[in-house]
Amino acid sequence: MIKPKTVKESIITMTELVLPHHTNQLGKLLGGQLMHWIDICAALSAAKHTQHVCVTASVDRIDFIHSIKLGDAVILTATVNRVFNTSLDVGVKVYSESFKEGQRIHTNTAILTFVSVDDNGKPIKAVEIIPETDEEKKRYDEALQRRENMLKDRASN
CATH code of the domain in which 88 resides: 3.10.129.10
Tell me the C-alpha distance between 118 and 124, whole Å: 6
Amino acid in the structure at residue 11: I
Confidence tier at 157 by pLDDT (50, 70, 90): confident
pTM: 0.94
Q: Show the domain range for 16.
A: 5-156
Tell me the C-alpha distance between 61 and 150, whole Å: 12
Tell me the C-alpha distance between 69 and 40, whole Å: 21
Tell me the C-alpha distance between 75 and 95, whole Å: 5
Task: Note the pLDDT tens digit of each residue in 7-63.
Answer: 999 999 999 999 999 999 999 999 999 999 999 999 999 999 999 999 999 999 999
How many structural domains compose the chain?
1
For residue 141, which of 91, 86, 74, 77 has the smallest C-alpha distance? 91
